[in-house]
Chain A
Amino acid sequence: MVPQASPPNEWPLTRLRSSLLPWRGMRVTLITELTQPVRYVTQLTMVVTQLALTYWLWRALYAGVRMSAGLDVTQATSYALLGVLYLQFRSVDRWSNGDTMVQLMFEGTIAYWFIRPVSPRRWYLIRMCGDLAYGAVWALVAYLACRAAGAIAGPPSLAAGGAALLTLALGLVITYYLQVVVDLMCFWSTVNDSAVVAVQFASSLLSGAFAPLWFFPGWFQRANEFLPFQSTLNVPLSLYVGRLPVSALPGQLAVQAAWCASLALFTWWLWRRAAARVTVLGG
């Protein structure tokens, strides 16, 4: 008889190592994407097409005017192209892998999330970081290509570039939390596809991904100030193109931090409620 099965070692160093190792789970996204060439070829085609069309559209819009809504043609085109690049952060499509939250709920495989030594909240974060990292590579490569081609102008100063990068990071945190809220709806209602579509549309429209927010009416912009979306994209891009001065950074950071904190608290509470009410029926 071999030694009895016993509880694993619980030394502090083992625990520390165990807590870091799961982050290697981020690679699930990369492996999945690379095993399906059709997906990255399609994505490449779409990014190039979208960037080219956006560039020509904004150039055409500015053909007869020098300035519009306080932006010149270079600023407006850069803003719009950066908006396209921002969408690449959310480019991973988990649906065809059966790996979206709603699919895991529907198939009942979400059950495994609750019998692993990594909490569902942490595993979700690890996977999303994997998705964001994959999207970030696309965005970065496309950004460098656009810069080389002269389609996107550089930031007006190093400080503006740094401020844009900092607010972009916080903007991604806000985007992450908004996605958590949508995904966790599955624990209350097994279908969340309409919520996903609604939030994606609202997020793209209100963040400025479709068009710079200064082109919208005043009441729209004022109402939007009370929502988290513009902090995700409009703020970093405005800092990048010089529409917002670097001196506005502390105020914008404070707003972003407030959104991050309140959404973190809300999603923490949601995860607790979700874990208590998880339902997986049948054998």
Chain B
Amino acid sequence: MPAGTIVAEGLIKVFRTVARGTGVAGALKSVIRPERVAKVAVDQVSLRVDQGELLALLGPNGAGKSTTIKMLCGILTPTGGRVEVNGITPYQDRIANARQVGAVFGQRSQLWRDLTARQSLEVLRDMHGLRAAEYRDRIREFNRILEIEEFWEGRARQLSLGQRVRCDLAAALLHDPPVVFLDEPTIGMDVVVKEQVREFLRDQVQRRGRTVLLTTHDMTEVAKLAERVALIDHGRLMYDGKTAGLRDLAGVTWEAHVTVETVPAVIDVPGMRLTRADGTRLSFAPAPGAGEDLTPRHAVRRLIEHLPVTDIRVEEPDLEDVVRQAFRAGR
């Protein structure tokens, strides 16, 4: 398996906890005769991410995204299934795995609170056994977009969220790993820093060929970064494919509104169906089975070829609507 490849087959994670009763009696019972409860967090998830690909893992809170990512990066031991990252089973060989993966968990920092960000990065440099020249090159590279040297003399507990996450990104990539896991890296950030982080990720994928698995609730991020998405809900993978293909799953798609000079007796535009007619104003949507090939651009061309169009406008639902609809359809 080439470096930079993530493979998961039938991944399962079951958490076993003790059910706590209410009140004093419930608390006593949970000590004397504990009732064990099994919660399936991830259920038969299979996916593959190839080298240089960015996959966005989407899902509502508690869907199993973070648990999946933690199994893939070797923190959690799966209850069942197979996982391989860079040809290594992460939870079985954590040291070898650690040399080839990096991770950022958006709400959790790996910086030491009372050390400056620079000192934390130096501790991590030593852990990874990096030479001084390598370290300087990496910092220079990260600094180009993340601009961490501007604030890295501040103690981690004094950094803003955006500054802290930028340092965490640098920490995760310090050892030049081919695979990077990012669990909600931009949560709570302002738009300027978000864009900075996105630019950094784009650069790392396109220029450095890193494989990135990203979980996020930010659909703008998905639209700007990911060509492929995987939807997960109640621990199950509902969709894995192109971002554009989500519209088929959701049953929502673009709609073209045209104004024609005269309404023809027979309205027949290949691959499209008439959804509304109001005088010379007509609306069209893709016909069932039109497939992903019929993009809004193609549709515009076809409408102009088949109708005496004087005005045309295409409405596309935003990704957030599509994902929301997709989850409803999946349930």
Contact = CB atoms under 8 A, between A and B. Distances in A.
A27 to B, nearest CB: 8
Contact of B86 (A7, A99, A111, A283): A7
19 contacts: A7-B3, A8-B100, A25-B123, A25-B126, A32-B114, A99-B112, A109-B108, A111-B103, A111-B105, A112-B105, A115-B101, A117-B99, A117-B127, A123-B127, A281-B15, A281-B66, A283-B183, A283-B187, A283-B215
Contacts of A114: 74-75, 94, 98
B76 A5 contact: no
Contacts of B107: 283
Interface string A22-52: 1011011001100110000000000000000
A123 B124 CA distance: 12
Interface residues of B, number: 55
Nearest to A114: B75
Given A5-B178, A97-B113, A109-B108, A28 B129 contact: no
B245 interface: no
B3 A6 contact: yes
Given A35-B114, A115-B94, A24 B75 contact: no
A5 B113 contact: no
Interface stretch (B20-28, B204-212, B236-244, B282-290): B204-212
B162 interface: no
A278 interface: yes
A7 B129 contact: no
B75 A21 contact: no
A116 B113 contact: no
A36 to B, nearest CB: 7
Contact of B66 (A21, A117, A282): A282
A247 to B, nearest CB: 45
B221 interface: no
A279 interface: yes
A38 B184 CA distance: 37
A76 B119 CA distance: 45
B259 interface: no
Instruction: Provide the main secondary structure of the chain B interface.
Output: loop
Interface in A91-114: 97-99, 107-109, 111-112, 114
B155 A35 contact: yes
A194 interface: no
Contacts of A2: 207-208
Given A5-B178, A21-B126, A108 B105 contact: yes
B74 A21 contact: no
A115 B98 contact: yes
Contacts of B209: 1, 4-5
A276 interface: yes
B208 A111 contact: no
B183 A6 contact: no
Contacts of A117: 95, 98-99, 127-129, 175
A36 B173 CA distance: 30
